[in-house]
Amino acid sequence: MLLTHPKNEEVILRDFVRLAWGEGAEDIYLAFEKGIRQMDEEDREIWIRASEIAVRNATKVAFFRGSRTVDVQDMNWAMNVATESTKQLQLGYREYSKDDLDQADIVRRLRDRFKREGRLTAGQVSRLCERYVKDYRKIDAAIEHLKRTSEIAEEQPEEKKDLRGRPSTAWIYIRKKPPWM
């Protein structure tokens, strides 16, 4: 927008661009938002911002396309992006917000940590799992499962090694990736 200054100087002002709704786009948005508002309370807490994010993304796409309206194709694309993003958020929330993890979750977490670290002591395993389980027998069962599937093995202390203090049980990760992976 150009304005003329009293001293006959041109001043350029930036203005926000307001895009209108294209035919049918607003109806799609309203239906998407209504569907989210009808979810049960726990799901709605996670999904509540998805419609807002979809509108924001659709507006950006329409603007950079050079359009003066947010069209149906922009809204469909943005709703798909917001939906997939929110599904991932919901999946992570459900997985990591449990009070007491299932046995399979503990095994998976231990397996991932063994892959990263290579070696874990009994103390490290306990610290990793104790805050996620109420029944500590699940930790022992997870270690046994990993030993039975030949993913970890108990580390054998070397005879020459000086074992001062209290010796700790340790396990090493022995499963390597197959050559085709």
Q: How far is residue 49 CA from its own chain's centroid?
A: 16
Residue 63 is which amino acid?
Answer: F
Span 123-144, average pLDDT: 85
Per-residue pLDDT reduced to its tens digit, 72-127: 999 999 999 999 999 999 988 877 766 556 778 888 888 889 989 888 888 888 88
Per-residue pLDDT reduced to its tens digit, 10-37: 655 556 678 899 999 999 999 999 999 9
Which fold would CATH assign to domain 103-158+166-173? Arc Repressor Mutant, subunit A (1.10.10)
Q: Domain extents for the chain?
A: 2-96, 103-158+166-173
pTM recorded for the entire structure: 0.53
DSSP letter at 103 equals: H
With CA atoms as reference, report the closest residue to 168 among 159, 157, 176.
157
- 78 neighbors 58 (Cβ within 8 angstroms): yes
